[in-house]
Chains A and B, each alone.
Chain A
């Protein structure tokens, strides 16, 4: 049996990127399949990263570009796996690459089309906090730097009008006739790194998300505090547009919660709340920040020291408390957080201008379908499960298919990176077939 020297990586977040680079650096051909028009995943949308407060896109962008520049990596964006046949090391994968109506070979990413497009659409990469055009680049550092037309909203498709972009595009890149493409790939192994979804807390009526405009999710907050986000890095209290003076973070929103199907701990939210509170302090010296938590899970390398600094040097207040309800104070425009203090056990309240809900991070809702296509199993929560969760992490329940990053269970960035390297090592073994030990 001759092994194919190709590997399929599904998901272009930090885990998929790392896995691809490790393999490509060894001369293995990688197909990196990403559902969105750009690789980068969630990390591309974060402002800073704990526990160093490194700027997230600053450290990720070079890796994204490296993927793009590496001749051994073929990035397939707007793409999804629809079938996988065969066994390791002879899989045949079928990918559907959805039409973006822009010729990838011609578009230079100049942005002329975007300027002239009259249609404004909520921008999901900024958590719908601002608008993008119907022809767009997801975010400024997108890789590849190629426009995509949103067929659902583009006037050419909806009303057969406009056509501004085709008129202004000097590169002749616009192609309204472009079709979805089916791509068949022979691969020796597959690495799944399809990440996670963020819980929408609208159904937790007690916190008023969706009803009170100053109750945000942590992901929204990351975009707000980020310089390239919708407000250019400013926190604003609606409707006045002033900056908040007091900020409350609520932990475990939808996680560690049996009634909401996410009984597990999302692992990163205690730390990202700490980071986000620090960032608020860096932006506004005198802002007061309160973190309402149950157990503070500062377990990673240097995390405890980071939290200690947040308390001591930044003056962030941690309250061991369970918030039961948030109510808007219409005259004052503030939000009252009612909470059950676990140290001084009785109900208390505090007024803040903005609340950040640190919501559960969940397995992707499409994971079950992908599991079916790949023939691999999910655990009771919906994360892909390892063949042996103790002795054999990164190996899925099927030979030749590996799992890495958040799709295999809650994880922060360095853990995702380490695991992605781990998955690529094991996938390389499948291709090398030369050891003597059991090939995973």
Chain B
């Protein structure tokens, strides 16, 4: 079907999502409204559009109403676009003729107490979607070959397991380890539960397995210095014993974690009889426990709000394990001072019972009533209010062991920038989806496992290592990936050959070529182009357009957001500002989604327009928004250094500083325009930012342009 010439025939499906949307937005009303919009020939609402019957009705409607554009107004494209695009395809509709409208994460979940306003906003969002859908064009995707090799960064238990499985599946695998030995953190430990194997023996067993695999190449004492490319074709520069550039199809991050050093807490660093768990494990390995009869362990040192917010998952189990070894093998008595014992599952709970049976003492302190270490006359004592017994107790100690949490390694910061993958607020690597994609990054072709993801036990890290190997082996086995058709396209008639675009493209996707006529013009390479749109924004001749994110499409959304007075009219007396926020697909849009799933509420005045990169935002988009009556405009993107397209946000920053000045010259307050960086993990920040920005705009009142309307 040739949709370019055909009059658009738009079908729109509005989802109740059970009550997730339906409970806070009047969905049937939105569907009725949708029918009044240009070229909408069919509108319906479903309890769950993504369920089998929803998808069937989409397919039927495409056939029955001869639809050539499809809109689903429901959750977020970040999880559900593939499903609906697939449905389009199976009904013979090009997947690029599908438009997603997010009325859950960006509407019903963040305006749970304002049904009327949320319904109006949903209508606005639908109207914006219809505007864009009218301008969508079919696109064809290119296939790219995948180099059937992988690199695993980090040779701890997770990375070793990942490498083994990849190799056993037949793929050449490079294992990059910064130390000169494999095994990571585990090498320092004494023995391991539940099998009581010596920690180094476990590592040696695993290492000898790896050595059997011909297609594993180990790069020891080496670190990753640079990463270029994309799924299927990464170039990873490694520095170390031998410098090398590895060409691989996929990358696994297994860089592990380290223990938090509790400097300044509980006399740590002041008295060497106060040690961390790993230091104890080393003492046990070296059998350096002479003269010690009694050990006091203190749990949650630094964790659960003391220095870092999270619970480190493994330290209760580890303390218990060590207490049992101390007691059984060294004849040393142990008290474990804790707020609660967080062992879980079957094996660890059994360990806890065993410790109680053999006489390890467990003493509970209150949540906000941590113990004190007293160091007097060469004697160490821990004083604690025992909550269970409602009295203060003193525990003399020959050695105090502090159970401190795992924290990410400092190098993770740099690695995350090289790979363009985010860290979470806890500073661990942040996965694509907390529930269903725990081992993937949002960026295709890069995966994670082990304690780089979050604290984990050894078998958990090993299972994750295998899991990451499974994920990473999918493109390697297929041998190709399809690249999105979101690419630049140069109109050679408009191009003057100035070459500015060639300079800004980080992917060398543009080059100047000489036409037969002798004129120089830019040409775009669809396979190399990543679709950020920076070039299109840079070209002052309007010669470059972006497929699927054309300027016309984006402007149509801006206009639609601001041109239906009936909807923007204040509900109650007073000023109700209209705000346009541009969000980048990778960070700030994901942050807005996270605000939604977390139910962080903010006022319903913001209309979000998704672009691939903040570098795509043309100054004209901002001016257009103000001209059409926006009272405030926000441009948001990934934090500097985190840009999915290397430097798109930096270019946006330069450009937007200029925009801010022009906005001012137009007679508008500078504060009406904002440029902010929000990561995928900053849902709370997104909501707070929206709340603050809206209240600031409320103080400023309407603009001369918006009053006119």
Contacts and interface: CB of A to CB of B under 8 A. Distances in A.
A343 B80 contact: no
B197 A429 contact: no
Interface string A90-129: 0000000000000000000100000000000000000000
B311 A425 contact: no
Among A66, A144, A429, A435, residue most surrounded by chain B Cβ atoms (within 10 Å) = A435
B22 interface: yes
Contact of B51 (A69, A141, A295, A305): A141
B470 interface: yes
B344 A265 contact: yes
Interface in A323-377: 342-345
A418 B462 contact: no
Interface in A224-271: 226-228, 232-233, 256, 263-265, 267
B195 A388 contact: yes
Among B164, B169, B462, residue most surrounded by chain A Cβ atoms (within 10 Å) = B169
Interface string B456-467: 001110111111
Interface stretch (A57-65, A150-158, A197-205): A57-65
Nearest to B465: A422
A275 to B, nearest CB: 12
Nearest to A285: B113
Contact of B467 (A62, A66, A421): A421
A381 interface: yes
B170 interface: yes
A410 B51 contact: no
A213 interface: no
B463 A428 contact: no
A437 B210 contact: yes
Contact of B83 (A62, A296, A411, A417): A62
Given A227-B23, A390-B193, A342 B438 contact: no
A302 B50 contact: no
A429 B435 contact: no
A267 B434 contact: no
Contacts of B202: 390-391
B439 interface: yes
B291 interface: no
B470 A424 contact: yes
Among B48, B79, B80, B390, residue most surrounded by chain A Cβ atoms (within 10 Å) = B48
A26 B480 CA distance: 11
Nearest to A294: B340
A27 to B, nearest CB: 6
A263 B53 contact: no
Contacts of B167: 435-437
Contact of A391 (B170, B205, B310): B205
B463 A27 contact: no
A421 B310 contact: no
Contacts of A263: 349-350, 353
A436 B469 contact: no
B139 interface: no
Interface string A123-152: 000000000000000001111110000000
Contact of A435 (B48, B170, B193, B437): B170
Interface stretch (B12-20, B65-73, B516-524): B12-20
Interface stretch (B211-219, B274-282, B569-577): B211-219
A295 B340 contact: yes
B75 A58 contact: yes
Interface in A164-218: none
Interface in A297-316: 297-305, 308
Interface stretch (B35-43, B471-479, B482-490, B657-665): B471-479
B346 A109 contact: no
A322 to B, nearest CB: 12
A2 interface: no
A286 interface: no
B209 interface: yes
Given A26-B477, A59-B436, A439 B52 contact: no
B192 interface: yes
B466 A394 contact: yes
A49 interface: yes
B289 interface: no
Contacts of A411: 345
A348 B86 CA distance: 58
A389 interface: yes
A55 interface: yes
B168 interface: yes
Among A25, A140, A428, residue most surrounded by chain B Cβ atoms (within 10 Å) = A428
Interface in A382-425: 383, 386, 388-394, 409-411, 413-415, 417-425
A425 B468 CA distance: 8
Contacts, number: 282
B172 to A, nearest CB: 11
Given A227-B23, A233-B19, A109 B468 contact: no
Contacts of B341: 295
Interface in B627-682: none
B91 interface: no
B388 interface: yes
Interface in B162-185: 164-165, 167-170
Contacts of B458: 390-391
B346 A62 contact: no
Contact of A301 (B55, B453, B466): B453
A140 B51 contact: yes
Contacts of A66: 83
Contact of A54 (B19, B304, B597): B597
B116 interface: no
B18 A227 contact: yes
A69 B206 CA distance: 39
B462 A410 contact: no
Contacts of B197: 390-391
B343 A265 contact: yes
Contacts of A58: 17-18, 20, 48, 50, 75
A426 interface: yes
A244 B19 CA distance: 19
A59 B604 CA distance: 25
Nearest to B205: A391
Contact of B434 (A51, A145, A393, A410): A51
B426 interface: yes
Interface string B425-447: 01010000111111100000000
A131 B48 CA distance: 21
A389 B194 contact: yes
Contacts of A160: none
Interface string A41-74: 0000000010111110111111101101100000
B92 interface: no
B126 to A, nearest CB: 19
A36 interface: no
B700 interface: no
A426 B165 contact: yes
Interface string B573-600: 0000000000000000000001001110
A82 interface: no
Interface of B: 16-20, 22-23, 47-48, 50-53, 55-56, 75, 79-80, 82-83, 86, 90, 112, 164-165, 167-170, 192-195, 197, 202, 205-206, 209-210, 212-215, 303-305, 309-311, 313, 340-350, 353, 366, 387-388, 390, 424, 426, 428, 433-439, 449, 453-454, 458-460, 462-471, 473-474, 477-478, 594, 597-599
Given A265-B346, A301-B453, 18 more contacts: A22-B471, A62-B83, A65-B52, A226-B18, A233-B19, A256-B349, A263-B350, A267-B345, A303-B310, A304-B303, A344-B390, A389-B195, A390-B192, A394-B466, A414-B436, A421-B468, A429-B169, A437-B209
Going nearest first, the 6 A-B pairs with the smallest beta carbon separation are A227-B18, A435-B168, A421-B467, A422-B466, A425-B470, A227-B19
15 contacts: A54-B434, A54-B597, A61-B51, A62-B80, A65-B50, A65-B52, A300-B313, A304-B309, A344-B390, A390-B459, A391-B462, A393-B463, A422-B462, A422-B467, A428-B169
